[in-house]
Structure 1
Amino acid sequence: MAFEVATNQSYLIEIAPVVTSDFKNLPAGRYFFNWDEEATFEIFKLTIKGKDDILGLISFERISKEMRIHVRLLIASVENVGAAKIDDSLRPKTQIAQHYIDKYKINITGMTRSLEIPEIFELIEFYDHDN
């Protein structure tokens, strides 16, 4: 469920893989990055259920030998900023780091931040309102 602050309205959301035809609708001016450069990695989009407009994107890389997923980029579209842009292995560059730790139980793992399985399941349970 997504909540639009300006209108006090909530929407069901969908998270789905980006398909080839989506790339033509991902200009860097709206999404802060040339997403074609991420095409070799897994990219998912956030949309309002039943709509095509992409509100946000995440790209990640599965690193099987380490049994982890490396989040490369996480971004909201320019008009939806207020969410977060997280890149470089969840290496926050501002005070937002403590917010991630407090709100999402993100762990400090050396120079990066991470979530372990229990915390991931807690977040999924908390934010999964389709049940």
Structure 2
Amino acid sequence: MQKITHLESSVQKNVVIELVAEEDFKVITKAKYFFNWKQEKENIVFKLRIEDADEILGLMSLKHFQHEERFEIKLLAVSKENRGKDKKYDGITENLIAFACREAVKLHAESACVSLFPKTKLKMHYVEKYGMQDAGRQVFLGGISLYRLLEKNEI
């Protein structure tokens, strides 16, 4: 079971990552999640929530490139209250990235790859915090770096 940490109490909470349902788009606002997520319906959109709770804490849009054995994270966001130094929970982004890695491994085994085009100011953050590799405009996880992230996120 994947977990996030409530920073004020240090209590770990089990999380669920599942497909976004059509009715979820009614509560996924740009004000809370920073992007117009309705535009992502052409991709596979997942939500992260605490087990036994309905509030969406994070969102991720994936596009599968079968011929490249790769998933691209098209969009990734945590809710407004879970950003920055005053965030409520830690581990939302890492759990979403690890989930994308697991999905890639399910389909492509040792050839699996997960990539994203980060905003310039976040590029080094993805490299340092999640072990992503710099590939110019993109960063990615593949091979050992992908499996290291998965190992770190196995409970």
Q: What's the CA shift for 1:25? A: 1.3
**Which stretches of structure 1, 4 residues or longer, exceed 3 Å deviation after superposition?**
none
- Which whole-Å deviations, capped at 9, do the CAs of 1:3-46 have from their partners, x for residues lacking one? 01123222111111111111111011111111111011101111
1:117 aligned partner, one-letter code: G
Q: Which has the higher helix share?
A: 2
Return 5+ residue gaps in structure 1 as ranges.
none
1:123 aligned partner, one-letter code: L
Q: Which residue of 1 aligns with 2:24?
A: 22
Corresponding position: 1:91 with 2:118: yes
What count of residue pairs does the alignment treat as equivalent?
Answer: 125
Percent identity between the two aligned chains: 30
Q: How does 1:69-80 map to 2 (within 5 A)?
A: 69-80=71-82
Q: How does 1:1-131 map to 2 (within 5 A)?
A: 1-82=3-84, 89-94=116-121, 96-129=122-155
Q: Which residue of 1 aligns with 2:109?
A: none
Q: SS at 2:120's partner residue? A: coil
| Greater relative CO (CA pairs within 8 A, separation 6+) | 2
Return 5+ residue gaps in structure 2 as ranges.
85-91, 94-114
